A and B are shown apart, each in its own frame.
Chain A
Amino acid sequence: MLLIVTYSRGARQTLRNVCSTHTSPVVRRFGRAALFNETELAAFLALRLREKHGDDVQIERTRPFNEFTAVPDDVRSAATAYENRDSPSTSYAKFAAGTEHPSPNALQDREL
């Protein structure tokens, strides 16, 4: 999908107008950002926004997230285990220490 983020009041207003006029490409609207589907119409609208507002418009392309293909087992099971921990006040670093769950540093250094 296309993620469009605006960084000025003018650009934000134009994005709002675009979203109200063209509802078909809009997947989701957030205050000053929106997700468009991946159509040429969406790209056309996004590029028009950037043509009009320059650097106050950021356009990114997102990918669907599938944790079963993109995320290693140990990360998924660590997330599940930590959210189901007995003591809510335990930090993740403490929780993972001495277990087979990855340490916060390891998570930080590993790219998906």
Chain B
Amino acid sequence: MNVDLGETIRTGRAIDLRDRGLDAPTVERAVRESDWITCQTPGEVHERVSPIRDGLSLAVRSAVAEAARTRGLSAPQDETIAAVRRELRTLDPPAADCEAARRRVAETGERESELSERVSELRGTIDALEGDDVDEAVEQREAAARRLSEVRTERIAAEQALAHARGQAREARDARDRRLRLEDREKNLRRAARDRLAAEVRDAFADAVETVPGEGTVESTTGDFDGDTVTAALAVVRIADVDAPVVLACDRFDSPSDAAAVLDAPVLRV
């Protein structure tokens, strides 16, 4: 790898950048963007572990599984996972929204009951009136009754539209159901593949944990790692076939070249 520092270019498998006052995220970004650092493109292992620094948050088993993949291993679930993902990409569940239809049912229903009340009121008024007043009230009542009949028709149409929309929503939800089942399936398969891959390199990982500096143990049957995440990350890098430089921001090695030798990977010390 090459590190272009402007006035000077550093090359090699282990490069010390501690004299430049650069922080780990900055250097990591340069590795990923191939900016002023020229190197191989980082892979999944790199994504998970680098930069390695105290307090690193690491899903150990997943990282170990990714390391196994760099060694050319694959999981029996891989093909099914790919098929499930393909199907998920083709799924595009339609909308299942009935809000407009519900609102219309509510509004027409409300107007209907208002008008219905108005008609009853007018009917009561007519009984108490005499002469011309009666004619006027009758006219009003008839007008209200006509509007009521119109609104009732609208309400019935709105209810039918809602029933139709609900039917369509049910179909749309079938598609969403399918998508959720596939997503769950994919997750379970991925977990099974991860466990399988991690189990395949369990011994190598346990040896690596013993070899790299730091505290940690690997349970012999479950493969569970107990220790600090920096140790786990270093062991993952050691067992993985890593081409891109790992950014090291921890004091575990005598020198960057010592680190590169133990980790069997290019190293950038910050």
Contacts and interface: CB of A to CB of B under 8 A. Distances in A.
Contacts of B184: 9
B18 interface: no
Contacts of B146: none
B180 A8 contact: yes
Given A12-B180, A55-B96, A58-B96, 6 more contacts: A8-B176, A8-B180, A9-B183, A9-B184, A56-B176, A58-B173
Nearest to A58: B173
Per CB-CB distance, the 10 closest pairs between chain A and chain B, nearest first, are A7-B176, A55-B96, A55-B97, A9-B183, A55-B95, A7-B180, A7-B173, A8-B180, A56-B176, A7-B177
B94 to A, nearest CB: 9
7 contacts: A7-B177, A7-B179, A9-B184, A55-B93, A55-B95, A55-B97, A55-B176
A16 interface: no
A9 B185 CA distance: 12
B17 interface: no
Interface residues of B, number: 13
Interface of B: 93, 95-97, 169, 172-173, 176-177, 179-180, 183-184
A8 B173 CA distance: 10
A81 B180 CA distance: 40
A9 B180 contact: yes
A32 B180 contact: yes
Contacts of A58: 96, 169, 173
Contacts of B169: 55, 58
Contacts of A54: 97
Main secondary structure of the interface of A (DSSP, over half): helix
Nearest to A57: B96
A27 to B, nearest CB: 22
A58 B99 CA distance: 11
B159 to A, nearest CB: 16
Nearest to B176: A7
A58 B177 CA distance: 12
Nearest to A60: B166
B179 A8 contact: yes
Nearest to A6: B180
Nearest to A8: B180
Nearest to B96: A55
B18 to A, nearest CB: 43
Nearest to A32: B180
Contacts of A8: 176, 179-180, 183
Interface string A19-50: 00000000000001000000000000000000
Nearest to B99: A50
A48 to B, nearest CB: 15
A8 B91 CA distance: 13
Contacts of A7: 96, 173, 176-177, 179-180
A7 B172 CA distance: 10
B178 to A, nearest CB: 10
A55 B169 CA distance: 9
Nearest to A12: B180
A12 B176 CA distance: 12
A5 B95 CA distance: 16
Contacts of B179: 7-8
Contacts of A56: 176
A9 B181 CA distance: 10
Contacts of B97: 54-55
A34 B257 CA distance: 58
